[in-house]
Structures are given as C-alpha cells and as structure tokens.
Amino acid sequence: MARDTLDRRTFVRTTAALGVATAIAGCSGGSGSGDGGDGDDGGDDGGSDGSDGSDGSDGSDGGSGEEEYLSEEPDYDGFLDDANNYEQTVDMTDADEVTVEVGAADGLSFGPAAVAVSSGTTVVWEWTGEGGDHNVSSTDGEFESDTFGEEGETFEHTFEESGTYTYACTPHETVGMLGAVHVE
C-alpha cells in the first residue's frame, strides 16, 4: 500500500518535471515577451499541458488570456499567406478598443496579425520597440502611420465600415510583416 502510493507520487513528480522541461523547451524559440505567441509551432503534440491551473474561468478579463478565433476565417485573398505570426483571426468583436502590437513575436510581426472587430471599433497599434522601424500602411490607402522605432508609440484608426482591411509595415513588407483587420 505505502509503496504503491510512493510509486505513484514519484511517477507524478516525474511527469510534472517532464512537463516543465517541455514547457521551457517550447518557449525557447522566440526570445521574449511571448504573448501566447508560441502557438504556431506544433501546438498539437501532447496538447497544451494545462498543468498548473490555467483555468482562466470564462474570462477574457485579465488580458493575458486565451485567444478566441473566428469560427470561419475571412477571405484575405491570399494576402496573409506569408504573414509572420499569423495563424487565425483573433475574435475581438466584443471590444470597444483593440490593441495590436507593432513588433510582436520576433519583432517583425503584428500581434495579433489578424484581428476581427465590430464596426465602430478603434484599433490602436502600439510599438513594442522590437525589430527596428515600423509603420502601419493600409493596402487601400485608408490609413497610414508614421514610421517609429521606439517602444510606446501608437497609431490608431477607427473602423466604421464592415469589410476586410489589409495592411503592411512598409520597411518589412517583403519579409512578412503583414496584418489584417476584419470588421464585422
């Protein structure tokens, strides 16, 4: 009996240690400030070790939470095919104001790269200071920021009309610094 318990505890501890090692290894890809951004590399092996109580209830109030994706991906006409940090469109249609990082993940990304908002929503792009000089330049010319490199700079645009808006960072457009806002 006693030994049985002990064995099980050892097993649990070993498993936990392994889980930690895996988590650490999983993070080592992207130097820093991982805002949940490690999702795109092989999240499907062994599935998101929820281990330490990341219950987050049904929350969306803390910010650092799980991202919800649109159930049906908008048609970006291939624009985001080479976009860094893009996997799916993050559903932020409940928010009045949405922040997108400029210089997310590896520094040459928008974060989230694709976001869905409701019409009337203001999107605030906020520079992280990573990756050099960036701007936000819409494909159809509807909005364009200045070019900044410093952390904390911001640019905003309010999307009144539904539709799909694509944009790029002009200096890094050719290396995949692309983004989109889908307005519902």
Residue 26 CB, nearest distance to Cu ion (Å)?
Answer: 26
Q: Which is nearer to Cu ion, 118 or 170 (CB)?
A: 170
Site for Cu ion contains 130 (CB under 5 A): no
Which of these segments, 13-21, 31-39, 60-68, 126-134, binds Cu ion (CB under 5 A)? 126-134
Largest CA distance in the chain: 73
Q: Which is nearer to Cu ion, 84 or 121 (CB)?
A: 84
Residue 172 CB, nearest distance to Cu ion (Å)?
Answer: 3
Site for Cu ion contains 177 (CB under 5 A): yes
Binding mask 150-169 for Cu ion (x = CB under 5 A): -------------------x
Q: Which is nearer to Cu ion, 105 or 177 (CB)?
A: 177
Q: Which is nearer to Cu ion, 172 or 182 (CB)?
A: 172
> Which residue, 130, 134, 129, 128, is CA-closest to 147?
134
What is the full DSSP assignment across the chain? -HHHHHHHHHHHHHHHHHHHHHHHHHHTTS-S--SSGGGGTTTTTTT---TTT---TT---SSSSPPPBPSS----TTTTTT-TT-SS-EE-TT-SEEEEEEEETTTTEEESSEEEE-TTEEEEEEE-S-SS-B--EETTSS-BPPPB-STT-EEEEEE-S-EEEEEE-GGGGGGT-EEEEEE-
Residue 139 CB, nearest distance to Cu ion (Å)?
Answer: 15
The Cα 148–Cα 154 span in angstroms is 9
Site for Cu ion contains 172 (CB under 5 A): yes
Q: Which is nearer to Cu ion, 177 or 183 (CB)?
A: 177
Residue 73 CB, nearest distance to Cu ion (Å)?
Answer: 24
Query: By beta-carbon distance, which residue lies closest to Cu ion?
Result: 169
Interface residues with Cu ion (CB under 5 A)? 134, 169, 171-172, 177
